[in-house]
Amino acid sequence: MWWVTTQKNGASALGLQRVLGLKKYETAWTWLHKFRRAMVRPGRELLTGSVEVDECYLGVWRRVFPADSI
């Protein structure tokens, strides 16, 4: 479960298969989907107020270059 939740770009069944040393991809796929189902709580409330997110940009971010540096 720790490995699934700490992947920056999301967990894959192939990655889970490698980490756990499983022989069959289908087993890793099944386990990954069971983990994902277990992490979703039915009837959960939406986040409200100030929400802090690490390693993520929220909103639009654009680098502005001075006209003479192009």
The number of residues in the chain equals 70
Residue found by looking up tokens 């709580």 in the block: 41
Averaged confidence pLDDT in the chain? 79
Q: Which residues contact 8 (CB under 8 A, 6 or more apart)?
A: 55
Render pLDDT for 17-44 as a digit per residue (tens, 0 to 9): 999 899 999 999 998 998 888 888 788 8
pLDDT, average across residues 1-27: 87
* Diameter of the chain measured on Cα atoms: 58
- Answer for the pair 36, 3: CB distance below 8 angstroms, yes or no: no
